[in-house]
């Protein structure tokens, strides 16, 4: 045997089979599309989970905000009621005196020869006497009436004006109550 008979080719790797170019491209596209779809699905599921968590947080915050709003209104109602009570009680006698004095002057200016009548709660009689004195009208008839709790009535001919001490305070309390009810 001669050395020429043995060829080196027999000891080399066999040649790889050549793949068809279209087949590789199809497999690559299929793998890309599968990976893209899987990634997209994971992204959508993650986003949906985050949106659910955000929605739950917003609902919780809305509930908390409603509770805080109701508590604030209750607290504000208490404060406003206290302010109305303090300011209303402190100034109601002065307001009543000024209102009666102004009304008496107006009545007498319109009909100077008539005599006005002031009917009031017995407890208010000293206050009404001060108001009459402050008005400068000297011919006013005063009557105490135990049935007129906290109010005074000015009568002049057929005209009648009722001034109630607590009417304004009561209307403010009703308004505060209406505002604080939700």
Q: What is the pLDDT of residues 104-143, one digit of tens each?
A: 888 888 877 778 888 988 888 888 888 888 888 888 888 8
Residue 84: what pLDDT?
Answer: 85
Residue with tokens 């002049």: 156
pLDDT at 11 over 80: no
- 5: phi then psi, degrees, rounded to nearest 5: -70, -40
The region of weakest confidence among 1-5, 34-38, 151-155, 158-162 is 1-5
pTM: 0.49
- The pLDDT mean for the chain works out to 80
Section 56-73 average pLDDT: 86
Cβ atoms of 82 and 167 within 8 Å: the answer is no
HEC assignment per residue over the chain: CCCCCCCHHHHCCCCCCCCCHHHHHHHHHHHHHHHHHHHHHHHHHHHHHHHHHHHHHHHHHHHHHHHHHHHHHHHHHHHHHHHHHHHHHHHHHHHHHHHHHHHHHHHHHHCCCCCCEEEECHHHHHHHHHHHHHHCCCCCEEEECCCCCCEEEEEECCEEEEEECCHHHHHHHHHHHHHHCC
More confident residue, 48 or 7: 48
Domains in the chain, start-ordered, CATH in brackets?
A: 50-180 (3.30.2320)
């Amino acid at each position: 045997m001669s050395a020429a008979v043995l060829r080196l080719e027999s000891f080399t790797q066999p040649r790889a089979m050549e793949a068809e170019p279209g087949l590789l491209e199809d497999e690559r596209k299929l793998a890309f599309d599968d990976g893209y779809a899987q990634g997209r699905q994971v992204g959508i599921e993650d986003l949906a989970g985050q949106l659910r968590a955000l929605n739950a947080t917003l609902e919780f915050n809305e509930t908390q905000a409603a509770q805080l709003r109701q508590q604030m209104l209750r607290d504000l109602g208490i404060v406003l009621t206290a302010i109305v009570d303090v300011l209303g009680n402190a100034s109601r006698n002065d307001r009543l005196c000024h209102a009666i004095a102004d009304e008496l002057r107006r009545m007498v200016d319109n009909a100077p020869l008539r005599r006005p009548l002031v009917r009031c709660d017995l407890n208010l009689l000293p206050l009404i006497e001060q108001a009459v004195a402050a008005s400068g009208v000297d011919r006013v008839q005063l009557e105490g009436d135990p049935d007129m709790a906290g109010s005074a009535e000015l009568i002049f001919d057929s005209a009648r004006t009722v001034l109630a001490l607590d009417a304004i305070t009561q209307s403010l309390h009703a308004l505060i109550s209406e505002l604080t009810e939700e």
